[in-house]
């Protein structure tokens, strides 16, 4: 394995815009949930008349879809991702719309028969319900509670109260309060393996909410200890959690 400094410097220089994780090929793995979100989404998009993908990142999921509805819109909040989505989707009939987190969606009531998202930052249930047509569908894969906490707690220490975040019961209760009927709900815990410290630096730069004040200088000691752990054990193991949610808009 290459020296600590070389691995870290390479990860610091890497581009972390968008939601592609190709940079991690051969350096980290994550088990996928059993339900096949992309395949299920492709089938739903093929039947939709108008669809909205929330928190699209760089538009990677929508770019994979062979068939899109006649009206396809994606939203994103982070400027580097917005530009990446515009470039990546420029050859497809997709509108890329910049939005602000927690602000109302800039669309009329009942605009879409499908709203989807892979890993939304914070679902705005009232707005999702508002822009859905009667009996329209919300279909999404959410990050679940305590996801990647083995890694996060390596840097921040125990975070017991945070384990309630993204709880499926809380999320579905909030969805029901917004007049959405839960039709599908599944959860999975997936193994993650990191094979060098550079992979960890990269993921913490990309998923900035995991360790919000992360910099290499601030956490150099923890990174050096993690580097030692990986060299001794061959990898660092954590677990992601995922929730699949399918819901339908109750008639107004």
Q: What is the pLDDT of residues 60-81, one digit of tens each?
A: 999 999 999 999 999 999 999 9
Evaluate if residue 122 carries a pLDDT over 70: yes
What integer pLDDT is reported at residue 20 of this predicted model? 86
> What is the band of 163 on the pLDDT scale with cuts at 50, 70, 90?
low
Residue written as token pair 């360790």:
211
Gyration radius of the chain over CA positions: 19
Distance of alpha carbon 64 from alpha carbon 53, whole angstroms: 13
CA distance 55 to 222: 31
CA 249 to chain CA mean position, Å:
23
CA atoms 150, 151, 157, 159: torsion sign: negative
Q: What CA–CA distances, in Å, run from 166 to 122, 144, 145, 170, 176?
A: 9, 5, 5, 7, 15
The C-alpha atoms of residue 199 and residue 179 are separated, in whole angstroms, by: 41
pTM attached to this predicted model: 0.90
Longest dimension (CA), the chain: 61
As a whole number of angstroms, the distance between CA 78 and CA 122 comes to: 14
pLDDT at residue 61, as a whole number: 96
Tell me the β-bridge partners of 52. 73, 115
- Answer whether CATH 3.40.980.10 is correct for domain 4-249: no
Give the separation between CA 203 and CA 212, rounded to whole angstroms. 12
- Once rounded to an integer, what is the mean pLDDT over residues 162-170? 79
- pLDDT confidence of residue 162: 58
Read off the pLDDT band of 247 (50, 70, 90): very high
Looking at every residue in the chain, the average pLDDT score rounds to 96
């Amino acid at each position: 394995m290459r020296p600590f400094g070389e691995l870290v410097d390479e990860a610091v220089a890497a581009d972390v815009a968008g939601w592609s994780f190709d940079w991690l090929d051969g350096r980290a793995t994550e088990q996928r949930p059993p339900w096949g979100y992309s395949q299920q989404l492709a089938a739903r998009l093929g039947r939709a008349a108008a669809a909205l993908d929330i928190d699209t990142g760089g538009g990677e999921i929508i770019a994979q879809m062979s068939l899109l509805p006649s009206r396809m819109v994606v939203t994103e909040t982070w400027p580097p991702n917005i530009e990446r989505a515009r470039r990546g989707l420029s050859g497809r009939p997709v509108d890329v719309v910049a939005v602000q987190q927690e602000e109302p969606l800039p669309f009329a009531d009942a605009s879409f028969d499908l709203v989807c998202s892979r890993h939304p930052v914070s679902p705005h249930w009232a707005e999702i319900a508002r822009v859905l047509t009667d009996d329209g569908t919300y279909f999404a894969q959410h990050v679940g509670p305590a996801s990647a906490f083995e890694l996060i707690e390596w840097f921040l220490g125990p975070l017991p109260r945070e384990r309630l975040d993204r709880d499926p019961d809380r999320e579905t209760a909030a969805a029901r309060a917004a007049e959405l009927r839960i039709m599908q709900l599944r959860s999975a815990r997936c193994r993650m393996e990191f094979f060098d410290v550079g992979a960890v630096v990269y993921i913490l730069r990309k998923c900035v909410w995991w360790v919000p004040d992360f910099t290499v200088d601030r956490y150099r000691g923890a990174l050096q200890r993690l580097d030692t752990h990986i060299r001794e054990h061959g990898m660092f193991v954590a677990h992601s959690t995922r929730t699949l949610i399918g819901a339908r808009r109750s008639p107004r």
